[in-house]
Structure 1
């Protein structure tokens, strides 16, 4: 605790005041906050498990995904067929046997981002849940590898 003492003897001086110094308290709280912020992600890592090895092949869908492409001019294509924006859901219904069919949206890099999101929202609002964006990594374009889909 800190005390404010009188500087000289005088009849009109106020009595000594006692104030609590909160600076060390704030320092300790900030250190504890930083420690918990660093330690929290480590606690959420889960239980370490040594998984067994297997010779099984990864599961593969037998059906190819439906490709919805948006060209630089804003034209829509379902696989190789050009469609209007208002016909997109009808054509997807003809090509997909269920709403669980994978749909890959391929947007030209010169097209506005909003147009791609608009098409994805239209597909999603029709009930299709497995919609993914297709991109090409820098290493795959040099080696001729196929583009990858991301969700």
Structure 2
């Protein structure tokens, strides 16, 4: 906003100010920053699983692994698609081009260890050799253990 102060006799004290008012720009940018900070974690979520914590390093792989998840209710998911236990291997065969494709098993920490191992054994007995457990590291990023 540009303005000038007038003297009593109508003459200008100084030339009009030509500075840009950046307050509305800063307000809009802060609102956008907050919106992106709130929206970004929501974009990276899948099936809600409460993963156990572990100290691991991330794996570097060219193809995105197939995620087999078991939620706290005992339901099975391949990526984000819910499947029955007897259809799990069939759905994995549809998603994987070969038996060499990496498969990450994600089990909610309230699910029994035996159920997770049972699913890993089922996947392994179907011929998939690259099966890994997924845990949450202390930095809250999802990591896999080979």
What TM-score does the superposition give when structure 1 sets the normalisation length? 0.56
> 1:50 is matched with which residue?
none
Whole-Å Cα distance in 2 between the matches of residues 83 and 113 of structure 1?
A: 20
Aligned length: 88
More relative contact order, 1 or 2 (CA 8 Å, 6+ apart): 2
Unaligned runs of 5+ in 1: 1-58
Whole-Å Cα distance in 2 between the matches of residues 80 and 60 of structure 1?
A: 22
Q: Larger C-alpha radius of gyration, 1 or 2?
A: 1
Q: CA deviation at 1:137?
A: 1.5
Q: Over aligned residue pairs, what C-alpha RMSD do you find?
A: 1.3
> 1:92 is matched with which residue?
92
Runs (4+) of structure 1 moved beyond 3 Å?
Answer: none
What TM-score does the superposition give when structure 2 sets the normalisation length? 0.58
Whole-Å Cα distance in 2 between the matches of residues 60 and 97 of structure 1?
A: 19
> 2:102 is matched with which residue?
102
Unaligned runs of 5+ in 2: 1-58
> 1:150 is matched with which residue?
145
Q: CA deviation at 1:63?
A: 1.2
